[in-house]
């Protein structure tokens, strides 16, 4: 059995669908469906059991969940709202919950792959996973960094797989429930469909109109990365990765290492849907940078994947922005 926390969320649900695609159906889905809109992400998915996140945490704490048949834990469950200011809530969801699950995995030597974030880098212009580059701008990034550092301190004593993946700017299917926290690509497509106009920020942070740059990574690539480090599927790729060991450890960047501008995104979307509402020709409109994002916004991200490739042994090519957008929205 494979445990996927946050299984009804954006990345978690895509993980379950990807597991199904490679023939894995013994999946234990954990989530909190207070936001019931997320259920649509699991339509068509196959999983053997579901448990509410709070019930799951109690079961872990009481040692009431048998580990006998658990092959891997893919921990995607977290509060990912970068504008959430309740520090106690964020630390409980993103640090304490993760720590509880980590120790359960370590106790039973279950491969543990978890979601971290590029938000730990804040306004840094260097994106190697090293302390001097890690300056989060909000409690979300801080909560993730605290757990990354907790894992780092334990790694010398760990004898099983523990891998943290710092997701960069993820996009793809099944993110419609995220509202404002959905990717800029999702928002641009909604604007295109509804108004035929994609609204892009004017110049900011030293970049020209629409030239702010992000490392956009397709969600399926992240799913494949999770499965690789958990030892699930991908046998052909693993055999040619140069990595013979069955145990993987470290905190790695999960991005393409190639930043693209917002203008690039808008043009790629218009290639897929050149006309929006009323069949009007699509166009780009530049709007003022929002005041509420000042000092809280990454104008540039680009993953340094040297450690991912050299220490993690992951060298699989990433989906191009144009191909990922076409696959998502066609």
3-state secondary structure of 283: strand
Q: Where are the alpha helices (DSSP H) in 23-160?
A: 53-61, 87-91, 97-108, 139-154
Look up 104 and say whether it is catalytic: no
Backbone torsions φ then ψ of 2, nearest 5 degrees? -120, 125
| Identified catalytic residue from 178, 218, 248, 314 | 178
Look up 140 and say whether it is catalytic: yes
- Give the Cβ contact number of residue 233 at 10 Å: 18
Cα-to-chain-centroid distance, residue 55: 24
Q: Which residues contact 325 (CB under 8 A, 6 or more apart)?
A: 171, 185, 265, 268, 269, 271, 272
Q: CA-to-CA distance for 72 and 87, rounded, in angstroms?
A: 30
Residue with structure tokens 């990922």?
Answer: 324
Residue-level length of the chain = 330
| Identified catalytic residue from 97, 114, 121, 140 | 140
- Give the Cβ contact number of residue 165 at 10 Å: 25
Which value, in Å, is the radius of gyration of the alpha carbons in the chain?
20
Identify any residues that bridge with 16 across adjacent strands, giving them in sequence order: none
Any idea which residues carry the catalytic annotation?
140, 178
């Amino acid at each position: 059995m494979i445990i996927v926390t946050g299984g009804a969320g954006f990345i978690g649900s895509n993980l379950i669908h990807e597991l199904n695609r490679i023939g894995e159906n013994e999946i234990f889905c954990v989530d909190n469906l207070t936001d019931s809109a997320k259920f649509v992400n699991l339509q068509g998915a196959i999983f053997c059991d579901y448990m509410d996140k709070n019930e799951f945490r109690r079961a872990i704490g009481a040692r009431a969940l048998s580990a006998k048949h658990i092959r891997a834990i893919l921990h995607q469950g977290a509060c990912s709202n970068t504008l959430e200011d309740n520090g106690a809530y964020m630390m409980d969801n993103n640090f304490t919950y993760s720590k509880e699950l980590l120790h359960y995995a370590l106790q039973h030597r279950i491969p543990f792959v978890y979601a971290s974030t590029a938000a730990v880098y804040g306004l840094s212009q260097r994106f190697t996973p090293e302390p001097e580059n890690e300056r989060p701008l909000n409690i979300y990034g801080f909560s993730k960094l605290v757990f990354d550092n907790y894992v780092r301190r334990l790694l010398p004593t760990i004898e099983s797989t523990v891998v943290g993946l710092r997701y960069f700017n993820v996009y793809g299917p099944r993110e419609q429930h995220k509202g404002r926290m959905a990717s800029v690509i999702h928002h641009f497509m909604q604007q295109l469909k509804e108004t035929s106009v994609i609204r892009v920020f004017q110049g900011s942070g030293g970049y020209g109109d629409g030239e702010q740059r992000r490392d956009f990574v397709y969600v399926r690539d992240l799913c494949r990365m999770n499965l690789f480090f958990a030892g699930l599927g991908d046998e052909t790729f693993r055999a040619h990765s140069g990595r013979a060991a069955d145990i993987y450890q470290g905190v790695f960047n999960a991005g393409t290492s190639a930043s693209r501008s917002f203008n690039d995104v808008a043009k790629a979307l218009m290639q897929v849907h050149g006309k929006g509402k009323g069949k009007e020709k699509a166009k780009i409109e530049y709007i003022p940078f929002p005041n509420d994002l000042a000092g809280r916004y990454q104008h540039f991200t680009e993953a340094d994947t040297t450690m991912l490739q050299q220490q993690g042994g992951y060298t699989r090519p990433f989906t191009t922005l144009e191909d990922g957008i076409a696959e998502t929205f066609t």
